[in-house]
Amino acid sequence: MNFKECTLIAADPGGMTGIASLTYTAFDSLEMEHSSVTGFVTGMLDYHKRIQHPVILGAERFIEQRSGKHSSQPHAQRIIGALEEAAKSRDIRFELQNTSDAKTIGRDSVLKRLGWYRPATPHGNDAARHLLLMINRIFPDDYARLLLAAGYLGG
């Protein structure tokens, strides 16, 4: 799979859910109520599948920091399960990620430099962090090129 021919979609699930997507150079993020997320994302998956455009879907794995147990947030659990099933039924790669990994790699300074930071949509920014983590893990060379092109040298 080639980064330039792939659509990446990331979700930060919860009562208010962030969604971020990237198709090579076109980035977008938004927030929506939990009840709309599954239909919205499955529509995106179906569209990209129909035009035979490879897709990778990622979501935050909710592990509570103090207990190390899965979160009891019912909206988040339902959204993650629905998105995982939607990906599986369409033969789409699905990634679960830890919040701490996404926040480490996708600091606000990085998102701002990339032009991905949206002050009015904190959940969309969290989804963007997961998107950046997917790029780092799946396409490390493209991740480095992306940061270099944005002039991000750290900090």
Question: Which CATH number is 26's domain given?
Answer: 3.30.420.10
Query: Which phi and psi (to 5°) does residue 38 adopt?
Result: -60, -45
Query: Is 154 among the domain residues?
Result: no
Q: Is the pLDDT of residue 42 over 80?
A: yes
Q: How confident is the model at residue 69 (pLDDT cuts 50, 70, 90)?
A: low
Please indicate whether residue 98 or residue 63 has the higher confidence score (pLDDT).
Answer: 98
Rounded CA gap, 110 and 14, in Å? 24
Query: Which phi and psi (to 5°) does residue 21 adopt?
Result: -140, 150
Tokens standing for residue 113: 């430099």
Count Cβ atoms below 10 Å from residue 126 Cβ, excluding itself.
26
Range(s) of the domain holding residue 96: 3-149
Query: Is 16 among the domain residues?
Result: yes
Q: Is the pLDDT of residue 28 over 60?
A: yes
Query: Is 99 among the domain residues?
Result: yes
N- to C-terminal Cα distance for the chain? 31
Query: Is 100 among the domain residues?
Result: yes
Rounded CA gap, 64 and 8, in Å? 26
Number of domains within the chain:
1
Query: Is 155 among the domain residues?
Result: no
Q: Is the pLDDT of residue 24 over 80?
A: no
Q: Is the pLDDT of residue 155 over 80?
A: no
Which pLDDT score, from 0 to 100, does residue 110 have?
Answer: 94
